[in-house]
Structure 1
Amino acid sequence: MKVYYTVDEAAEYLGTGVRFLRRLIAERRIPFHKVGKFVRIKIDDLEAFAAAGRVEAFDREAVRRHVRRAS
């Protein structure tokens, strides 16, 4: 398995467009490595980025308790 991906490979891995990934790189929202003029992204960094965006499912009963408290 490869350790570093090109931008095209990384976008495919995340299931996003290349333009979105290039924006993340330009905004320094995802770590990357410059190899000469080429950009490479470590697979661990891609997985950490995806994990950071994880949203947990909610428990219906917890939502009901929260709504009752707020009203």
Structure 2
Amino acid sequence: MNNIPQARFRVPEAAQYLGLGVSTLDKMRMEGRGPRYLKIGGRVFYRLTDLDAYIEAAVIETTDSRALAG
């Protein structure tokens, strides 16, 4: 019964993946910020693809990084 597909995380696992505390991720969700999530039967889940997209959206491009990219 605890066999959740790898591509879907509960809040504690999603928070760990993002390097955040559970309460921080909960607060972000309640404020309408943070990664997209699923709500199934009152439970909250995060898809791996949505966590990765959230991380990619947080990348800050600097002048130095653009110069190094060529």
Q: After TM superposition, is the score higher than 0.5?
A: yes
1:46 aligned partner: 51
Distance 1:21 1:58 in 2: 31
Q: 1:2, CA displacement in angstroms?
A: 0.4
TM-score by length of 1: 0.72
Please provide the CA RMSD for this pair: 1.8
Secondary structure (helix, strand or coil) at the match of 2:63 reads coil
Stretch moving more, 41-50 or 25-34: 25-34
Larger radius of gyration: 1
| Percentage identity across paired residues of the two chains | 37
Distance 2:28 2:21 in 1: 11
Which deviations, in whole Å up to 9, do the C-alpha atoms of 1:14-71 show, x marking residues without a partner? Answer: 1111111112211222211111121001011001111101012432xx8xxxxxxxxx
The size of the alignment, in residue pairs, is 60
| Structure 2 unaligned spans of 5+ | none
Secondary structure (helix, strand or coil) at the match of 1:12 reads helix
| Structure 1 unaligned spans of 5+ | 63-71
